[in-house]
Amino acid sequence: MPGMPADSGGAIVPFSGEPKHAASALPVRPIRHGVPPPISRVYISWSSGNLLQVACLRPPSPEEGAGRGAEEVAGRVVEVNLGVGAGNGSAEVEEEVDEAEMRRIEYGSVPAFALLQSRKNALADAAAMQHMHSVSEHAEWWQYVLEYSKTIGNLLGNQDSLPALMIEDPRAILKVREKPTSLKAAWELLEIFYVDKELHSWLPERLVDWLADYDSLLTKTDGTVYFKLNNFQKKLINLQIVENDDDYWNGLSAALSVGWLDVVVNMLRFHGSYQLGQMDNRETENGLVEAVAVLVSTMPRMRPDLPKGKLGQCCKTRPDFIKAWEKWRGQVSKLECSAFWIQCSHQKTRDGLKNLLHIMMGNIKDLTAATSHWLELFASHFLYIRPFTVGFEGMHHLAQKCIQLKPSFDTNGLTGLLNGILSENPEVVLAECTKKFGPW
Express each pLDDT in 361-377 by its tens digit.
999 999 999 999 999 99
Average confidence score pLDDT of the chain = 81
**Looking at the predicted structure, is the pLDDT value of residue 427 above 60?**
yes
Whether residue 241 contacts residue 413, with contact meaning beta carbons closer than 8 Å, is answered with no
Mean pLDDT computed over 209-215: 92
- Which of the pair, 271 or 129, is modelled with greater confidence? 271
Report pLDDT for 88: 40
Over 130-151, what HEC string results?
CCCCCHHHCHHHHHHHHHHHHH
* Residues of the chain above pLDDT 70, percent: 77
End-to-end CA distance of the chain: 25
β-strands 41-46, 51-57 pairing: antiparallel
Cα–Cα distance, 416 to 430 (Å, whole number): 11
State which H helix or E strand residue 301 sits in.
strand 300-302
List strands edge to edge, sheet with 75-81. 41-46, 51-57, 75-81
Query: Could you give the CA distance from residue 240 to residue 245 in angstroms, rounded to a whole number?
Result: 10
Q: Are 95 and 88 in contact (CB under 8 A)?
A: no
pLDDT at residue 278, rounded to an integer:
73
Q: What is the mean pLDDT of residues 108-120?
A: 90
CB distance 435 to 89 below 8 Å: yes
Q: Which residue has the higher pLDDT, 382 or 165?
A: 382
**pLDDT value of position 415:** 86
* pLDDT for residue 204 is more than 70: yes
Residue 43 pLDDT class (50, 70, 90 cuts): confident
Ramachandran bin of 325, using left for φ above 0, alpha for ψ from -120 to 50, beta for the remaining angles: alpha
pLDDT digits (tens, 9 = 90+) for 227-243: 999 999 999 988 888 99
β-sheet bridge partners, residue 300? 313
Report how far residue 50's alpha carbon sits from residue 89's, in angstroms, rounded to the nearest whole number. 11
pLDDT score at 439? 65
What pLDDT digit, counting tens, does each position of 149-164 carry? 999 999 888 765 444 4
Q: How many CA atoms lie within 13 A of 394 on its CB side?
A: 13
Predicted confidence at residue 85, as pLDDT, reads 42
Q: What is the pLDDT of residue 125?
A: 80
CA distance linking residue 54 with residue 2, whole number of Å? 10
pTM, entire model: 0.76
3-class SS of residue 401: helix
What pLDDT shows up at residue 1?
45
pLDDT over 70 (residue 402): yes
Query: What are 281-298's pLDDT values in tens digits?
Result: 788 899 999 999 999 999
Buried b (16+ CB within 10 A) or exposed e, 68-91: eeeeeeeeeeeebbbbbeeebbbb
Closest CA to 364 of 316, 338, 401, 418: 401
Query: Can you give the pLDDT at residue 180?
Result: 86
Say what the pLDDT of residue 52 is. Answer: 75
Render pLDDT for 62-85 as a digit per residue (tens, 0 to 9): 654 444 444 444 677 777 766 544
**428 has a pLDDT exceeding 80:** yes
CB-based burial, 380-405: b 16+ in 10 Å, e otherwise: bbbbbeebebeeeeebeebbeebbee
Residue 329 has pLDDT above 50, yes or no: yes
Vertex 355: Cα angle to 230 and 170 (nearest 5): 40
